């Protein structure tokens, strides 16, 4: 479809644009809902739905086949045209700063998966899950990428406003976590000085859970860029951290120890999975996005970037 067809500015056309959002979630060779059900969903008459379907067919967005008592089937759909007609525009996703190869691979995989799904997609980078979520709630971005751990907490906190779009699976957000302990310090000591990054919702939750059983913990505000100096200057004793961030940065100042109890390991697992959240007001569009995304492609391309087999492209 070249340019924008003025017919989509009419009443029937506006119904067609709303119908385009619904049809993005339907796979080819699946039966369409009955006209009266679509009319109820769109809040219009049966005739308007039939006219909307004709408009979508004439635009090249869909092809349908009437099969008697079996109903009408969607035989072909051009997602790029459906998305254009829907008026949803380019989806802007907020991601963490791409300081690690894993994040570069994640951005590369997401861009490729959205493009394959026929969905215009752009990325902006922001530090801190809280800052990214604030931008989402304010309508400045459409999607946010964060850990599944942080996503669960934020969706529960804003259940009327936010919804989970996708979980990309373990090790897509970060790799292994571990305790970082200053040489000469002990995790069993009272009054541990523990580094924590309160701008990172998932790190705050993970650190608080990991050190919940320790006495008189003193929290020391930090970022991954400050860790080496804090340990070297004897200002912190320990922390729990994403090892992707600190690999090769801390030299001989710390020992890396495995995480302990089962609950902490579960939290670390959820913290390692990348999740995508969006606003509930766009639930239909988010459902269409979820259904179209090939999550295995995201993980595969991320793995290729991590191995050095693919140059990051985002």
Q: Which two tokens stand for residue 46?
A: 């049966």
Q: Give me the chain's average pLDDT, please.
A: 86
Q: Which fold has domain 91-173+273-307?
A: D-Maltodextrin-Binding Protein; domain 2 (3.40.190)
Rounded to whole angstroms, how far apart are CA atoms 264 and 172? Answer: 18
Phi, psi of 236 (to 5 degrees): -135, 155
The DSSP bridge partners found for residue 93 are 123, 143
Which pLDDT does position 11 carry in this prediction?
A: 83
CB atoms < 10 A from the CB of 42, how many? 18
The pLDDT of 36-63, averaged and rounded, is 91
Q: Which fold has domain 6-86?
A: Arc Repressor Mutant, subunit A (1.10.10)
Lowest mean pLDDT among 60-74, 91-105, 199-213, 253-267: 253-267
Which pLDDT does position 4 carry in this prediction?
A: 54
pLDDT greater than 80 at residue 9? no
Environment class of 59 (CB within 10 Å of its CB; exposed 0-12, middle 13-18, buried 19+): buried
Task: Locate CATH 1.10.10.10 in the chain.
Answer: 6-86
Tell me which of 291 and 96 has the higher pLDDT.
96
Task: Note whether 104 and 301 are within 8 A (CB).
Answer: no
Which pLDDT does position 107 carry in this prediction?
A: 96
Task: Locate CATH 3.40.190.10 in the chain.
Answer: 91-173+273-307, 177-270
For 273-298, write each residue's pLDDT tens digit.
Answer: 999 999 987 666 677 777 778 888 99
pLDDT greater than 70 at residue 264? no
Environment class of 69 (CB within 10 Å of its CB; exposed 0-12, middle 13-18, buried 19+): exposed
Ramachandran quadrant class, 212 (left: phi over 0; alpha: psi -120 to 50; beta: rest): alpha
Rounded to whole angstroms, how far apart are CA atoms 299 and 294? Answer: 9
pTM over 0.75: no
The pLDDT of 212-234, averaged and rounded, is 87
CATH superfamily of domain region 177-270: Periplasmic binding protein-like II (3.40.190.10)
Helix and strand numbers, DSSP H then E, in the chain: 13, 13
CB atoms < 10 A from the CB of 124, how many? 12
| DSSP string covering 147-213 | EHHHHHHHHHHTTTTEEEEEE--TTSS---EEEEEETT--TTSTT-EEEE-TT-HHHHHHHHHHTTT
Which pLDDT does position 82 carry in this prediction?
A: 84
pLDDT greater than 80 at residue 29? yes
Rounded to whole angstroms, how far apart are CA atoms 246 and 181? Answer: 13
């Amino acid at each position: 479809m070249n340019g924008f067809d003025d017919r989509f500015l009419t009443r029937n056309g506006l119904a067609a644009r709303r119908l385009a959002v619904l049809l993005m979630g339907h796979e080819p060779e699946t039966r369409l809902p009955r006209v009266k059900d679509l009319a109820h969903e769109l809040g219009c008459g049966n005739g308007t739905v039939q006219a909307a379907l004709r408009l979508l067919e004439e635009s090249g967005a869909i092809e349908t086949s009437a099969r008697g008592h079996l109903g009408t089937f969607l035989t072909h759909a051009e997602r790029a045209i459906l998305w254009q007609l829907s008026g949803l525009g380019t989806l802007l996703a907020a991601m963490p700063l791409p300081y690690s190869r894993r994040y570069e691979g994640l951005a590369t995989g997401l861009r490729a998966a959205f493009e394959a799904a026929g969905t215009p997609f752009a990325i902006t980078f922001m530090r801190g899950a809280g800052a990214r979520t604030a931008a989402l709630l304010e309508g400045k971005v459409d999607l946010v990428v964060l850990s599944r751990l942080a996503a669960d907490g934020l969706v529960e906190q804003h259940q009327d406003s936010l919804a989970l779009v996708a979980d990309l699976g373990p090790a897509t957000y970060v790799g292994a976590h571990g305790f970082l302990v200053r040489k000469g310090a002990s995790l069993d000591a009272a009054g541990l000085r523990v580094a924590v990054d309160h701008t990172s919702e998932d790190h705050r939750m993970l650190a608080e859970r990991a050190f919940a059983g320790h006495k008189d913990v003193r929290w020391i505000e930090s970022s991954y860029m400050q860790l080496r100096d804090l340990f070297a200057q004897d200002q912190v004793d320990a922390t729990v951290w994403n090892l992707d961030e600190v690999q090769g940065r801390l030299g001989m100042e710390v020992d890396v120890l495995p995480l302990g109890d089962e609950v902490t390991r579960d939290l670390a697992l959820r913290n390692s999975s990348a999740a995508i959240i969006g606003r509930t007001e766009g639930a239909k569009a988010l459902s269409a996005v979820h259904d179209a995304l090939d999550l295995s492609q995201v993980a595969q391309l991320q793995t290729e970037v991590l191995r050095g087999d693919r140059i990051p492209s985002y």
